[in-house]
Amino acid sequence: MPDATRILFGHELRHSLRTWLWWVLPIGLMVTLTCALQPALAKGVLAAKMDAMPDALRRAFGFANVDFKRPAAYLATNFTTITLSTALFAGLLGAAMIAKEETLRTAEILYAQPTSRTRILVGKAAALAVYALAFPIALALLSIVTLSAVAEQTVEIGVIVELFIGATAIAVCFAGIGMLVAALVRDKRSASGATLGAVLGSYFVGVLSALDEVVQPLRWLSPYKLAEPAQILVNGTDVARLGLLVIAGIGAATIAIAMYKRQDIHA
Amino acid sequence: MTAIEVEGLSKSYGGRRGISNVSFAVGEGALFGFIGPNGAGKTTTIRILLGLLRQDAGHARLFGVDVATDGPRARASVGYVPSETNLYPRMRVSELLDYTGRFHDGDHVARRRELVERLELDTSVRASELSLGNRKKVAIVAALQHRPRLAILDEPSTGLDPVMQARLHDVLREEVTRGASVFFSSHMLAEVQSVCKQVAIVREGKLLAVEDIAALRSRAVRRVRLTFAGEIPPILLDGMDGLAREGQTVTFVYAGHAPTLLAALARAAPADVTIEEPSLDDIFLRYYAESSDA
């Protein structure tokens, strides 16, 4: 029998390319513009804004002691857009890849093929992984190229790559969560809404946890806290923390597949 | 070997009825009808056969392979036309056929082209532009392009015009001639009678009977309507039931041999006669009557 995983991988790669482009073009443009403005903003507006920010808020975002003239540090201060868009893209794509078959009611034809649901879902997950990696890689390339062109100081490419590896680990985590949500909720719109809530909600929980010691334990509910740009900037990559994010993502995807293969198809 | 073997299959949807203790077998090379009104449990049975639903009890096997424990192998040479044909809206028909064909070994191009031509299907358009009938044609070509050993068709004629229905029936007869088995689910008795050799009748989730079509025809009731110009003569026949008179019109239901009925009608000499094909309800009522008599 032909390899269904390979068939689904190719199918999803082709059919998710448009979605990937719709995300990467505007976000890429925004990242490019942000990087292009580094020399001007780092000297004036951004430094002044950071000075004016209350200490608690600076701690919440992890930028208590950062030199914004460093291109990598400047990028790190503006990394929220990248982290959130990467997590949103991966989470929503993960949810859509599973839920769309039932929303479009194409599940009946797909899952009646002579293959297991596991093979189908692994093929979809592989395509998801490709796009979850391709999205931050594209943004990383745009950032490095733009900063290298405009920055006055040396661009620390290694640090920027580490920042994006952190964002990628968060994306992998939310891609798995998106798949798990879709296996639970089934309907694409509901699954997308719930995944959106998980991506944004856990981000704001992370921000909240840094505002006061009383709410600090909430940080464990936020995957973002395991790959904070400010921490990576100062201490470098914490492989164990990133590994935890990747394991969480793969674990969530595995649970999603295990659940989905036992469920009745609602066509 | 049997193509389909179903034993004590049951499935409920929470409190809602699905199917209950359904058992039947379809031999290899058979053209087997599966008939019942909408909501009878036909689609539930088919979805269990294809591993889309998990049964609560019982077993379902395709070519001897249990669909619950080894679904991919059981479905290895099955073509399936779902009752509601939903396709990826952005894909072109040619892409869709290529995509579904890739799940099966072999080169399907020639057979696909032949089916596309016979069903007059435009493969260059996107699925979102297709009418219900054309979507159904895509599903039929997708199900048969790899020359399956077993074709399972759930209400395949829905949306097809009479010419295309006839072509589909021809294609299915040819499939059987080359040795394939066809499982044909429908709520239209006349269609099943014209296509199939054997039929399983299902209603309210229960299997009422498995019969040869010829036996079903001979046992089936006919609805008779006679209109008289003058005095209405007495009409008495064995197998007659539900006699009703309205003005110059007499109606009744007849279950028996056609020649006996025709002789009685000749004697009564009505001005006009209508003998209708038995409806599904007529047949179901008959089976219910038999089962309650037993």
Q: Which two tokens stand for residue B268?
A: 């009564």
Q: Give the distance from residue B205's alpha carbon to the nearest chain A alpha carbon, in angstroms.
A: 18
In A, minimum Cα distance to B142 occurs at: A109
pLDDT tens digits, residue range B63-92? 999 999 999 999 999 999 999 889 999 999
Q: Which two tokens stand for residue A203?
A: 């981000």
CB-based contact, B51 to chain A, within 8 Å: yes
Burial class of A34 by CB neighbour count within 10 A (0 to 12, 13 to 18, 19+): buried
Interface probe with B: pick from A6, A104, A108, most Cβ of B within 10 Å: A108
pLDDT tens digits, residue range A234-266? 888 999 999 999 999 999 999 999 998 888 887
Q: For position B294, what pLDDT does the model report? A: 46
Q: Which two tokens stand for residue B241?
A: 């039931």
What sections of chain B are H helices per DSSP?
Answer: 42-49, 71-74, 93-101, 109-118, 132-144, 162-177, 189-195, 213-219, 258-268, 280-293
CB-nearest to B75 from A104, A112, A265 is A112
Query: Is the confidence at residue B16, as pLDDT, over 80?
Result: no
Residue bearing the bigger pLDDT, A65 or B44: B44
Element (H, E) at A93: helix A79-103
Please work out, in degrees rounded to the nearest 5, the angle formed at the alpha carbon of residue A185 by the alpha carbons of A267 and A83.
Answer: 125
Distance of CA A160 to the CA centre of its chain: 16
Neighbours of B121 (CB within 10 A): 22
> B86 to chain A: which residues are within 8 Å by CB?
104-106, 108-109, 267
Q: Which two tokens stand for residue A133?
A: 């990696």
Question: Looking at residues B113-122, what average pLDDT do you find?
Answer: 96
Query: Is the confidence at residue B286, as pLDDT, over 70?
Result: no
**Edge-to-edge strand list for the sheet holding B272-276:** B240-246, B249-255, B221-227, B272-276
Please check whether residue B70 is in contact with residue B224, taking contact to mean a CB–CB distance below 8 angstroms: no
Element (H, E) at A11: helix A4-36
Query: Is the confidence at residue A45, as pLDDT, over 90?
Result: no
Please tell me whether residue B184 adopts helix, strand or coil conformation. strand
Q: What are phi and psi of B242, to 5 degrees?
A: 65, 40
CB-based contact, B80 to chain A, within 8 Å: yes
CB-nearest to B52 from A11, A108, A119 is A108
pLDDT, chain B, mean: 89
Question: Looking at residues A200-229, what average pLDDT do you find?
Answer: 86
Q: Which amino acid is located at B253 in the chain?
A: V
* Mode of pairing for the β-strands spanning B57-62 and B249-255: unpaired
Task: Give the C-alpha separation, A243 to A222, whole Å.
Answer: 15
CA dist A12 → A20, A95, A211, B60, B228 (Å):
11, 13, 42, 32, 69
Model confidence at A153, pLDDT cuts 50, 70, 90, reads confident
Please check whether residue A129 is in contact with residue A140, taking contact to mean a CB–CB distance below 8 angstroms: no
Neighbours of B287 (CB within 10 A): 16
In B, minimum Cα distance to A116 occurs at: B72
pLDDT tens digits, residue range A103-115? 889 999 999 999 9
> B89 to chain A: which residues are within 8 Å by CB?
104
Task: Give the C-alpha separation, B255 to B282, whole Å.
Answer: 10
B184, β-bridge pairs: B33, B153
Please work out, in degrees rounded to the nearest 5, the angle formed at the alpha carbon of residue B91 by the alpha carbons of B85 and B93.
Answer: 65
Q: HEC profile for B138-157?
A: HHHHHHHCCCCCEEEEECCC
Q: For position B289, what pLDDT does the model report? A: 58
Question: Looking at residues B283-294, what average pLDDT do you find?
Answer: 58
CA B46, B50, B55, B61 torsion-angle sign: positive
Q: Which two tokens stand for residue B58?
A: 């019982």
Check residue B160 and report its DSSP letter. Answer: -
Query: Residue A267 and residue B54: Cβ atoms within 8 Å?
Result: no
Closest-CA residue to A135 (of A106, A170, A178, A187): A170
> What's the ipTM?
0.82
Question: Looking at residues A32-54, what average pLDDT do you find?
Answer: 78
Share of chain B above pLDDT 70, in %: 93
Closest-CA residue to A176 (of A259, A241, A75): A259
- CB contacts < 8 Å between A and B, how many? 76
Q: Which two tokens stand for residue A108?
A: 């009946």
